[in-house]
């Protein structure tokens, strides 16, 4: 195995996914494993799902990168929008290191996706203002100015039409309200138009789980 390989974990409100990735090339080296996020999505039960993925890859004691659906500062969760509120104040890195034996680095999930897009995807070599929006259980965001990440922007938590934007236009909302694609697309375009008015980005990228 290459010495630039890490186990990438994407923690979401409905699923927890993992695959081995070469962080120098951006290449996914294995098929992705996806397990359901336990409900309620509390720290101990979610950490055990991550540990199960680590065991599947025989990855104990190695490097693990975790994209997490929260504001993450110094490895600690500072919000909990689509997971249980008991995550707030939990040191994600310390908890996952304890249950997996891995060396863990955690950051906001959309920030992680944005870094990948800027290094290996459509954002590569793009200067100016670039915004990635991730669509899933919520609406995540990553904001870059001249290639530099502004961490934890969480634009899905701005207010739109009197409510939190991700409660208005996320994929989870589409499913919950049984919106057809045209109805949901209208809502999502309102969100994008609002983001564009505020930031005047040079590029908007879309992604999701």
Per-residue model confidence as pLDDT tens for the chain (209 residues)? 678 999 999 999 999 999 999 999 999 999 999 999 999 999 999 999 999 999 999 999 999 999 999 999 999 999 998 899 999 999 999 999 999 999 999 999 999 999 999 999 999 999 999 999 999 989 999 999 999 999 999 999 999 999 999 999 999 999 999 999 999 999 999 999 999 999 999 999 999 86
Q: Residue 41 CA to chain centroid, in angstroms?
A: 15
Contact 65, 7 (CB under 8 A): yes
- Tell me, what's the pLDDT at 209? 62
Q: Which residue bears the tokens 């995807």?
A: 121
Beta bridge partners of 164: 159
Query: How far apart are alpha carbons 128 and 22 in whole angstroms?
Result: 27
Beta bridge partners of 149: 144
Q: Residue 144 — φ and ψ, nearest 5°?
A: -125, 135
- All domains in the chain, ordered by first residue: 5-111 (3.30.420.40), 122-208 (3.30.420.40)
Q: Which of 61, 37, 39, 60 is nearest to 49 (CA)?
A: 37
Residue 82, CB-side half-sphere exposure with 13 Å CA sphere: 28
In sequence order, the β-bridge partners of residue 169 are none
pLDDT of residue 1: 62
Q: Given this model, what pLDDT does residue 107 score?
A: 98
Output the pLDDT for position 208. Answer: 84
59 DSSP assignment: -
DSSP-assigned letters across all residues of 56-71: HTT-TTSEEEEEESS-
* Upstream peptide bond of 40 is cis (omega within 30 degrees of 0): yes
Residue 21 pairs in a beta bridge with 6, 28
Q: Give the span between the Cα atoms of 86 and 108, in whole angstroms.
A: 17
């Amino acid at each position: 195995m290459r010495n630039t390989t890490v186990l990438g974990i994407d923690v979401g409100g409905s699923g927890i996914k993992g695959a081995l990735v070469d962080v120098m090339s951006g290449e996914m080296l294995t098929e992705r494993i996806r397990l359901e996020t336990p409900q309620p999505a509390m720290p101990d039960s979610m950490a055990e799902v991550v540990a199960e993925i680590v065991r599947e890859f025989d990855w104990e004691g190695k490097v693990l990168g975790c994209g997490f659906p929260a504001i993450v500062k110094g490895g600690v969760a500072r919000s909990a929008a689509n997971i249980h509120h008991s995550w707030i104040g939990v040191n994600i890195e310390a908890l996952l290191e304890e249950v997996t034996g891995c060396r863990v680095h955690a950051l906001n999930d959309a920030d992680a996706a944005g870094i990948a897009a800027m290094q290996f995807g459509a954002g590569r070599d793009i200067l100016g203002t670039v915004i990635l929006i991730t669509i899933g259980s919520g609406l995540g965001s990553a904001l870059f100015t001249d290639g530099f990440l502004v961490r934890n922007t969480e634009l899905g938590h701005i207010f739109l039409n009197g409510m939190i934007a991700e409660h208005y236009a996320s994929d989870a909302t589409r499913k919950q309200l049984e919106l057809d694609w045209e109805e949901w697309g209208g809502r999502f375009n309102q969100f994008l138009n609002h983001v564009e008015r505020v930031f005047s980005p040079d590029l908007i990228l879309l992604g999701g789980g």
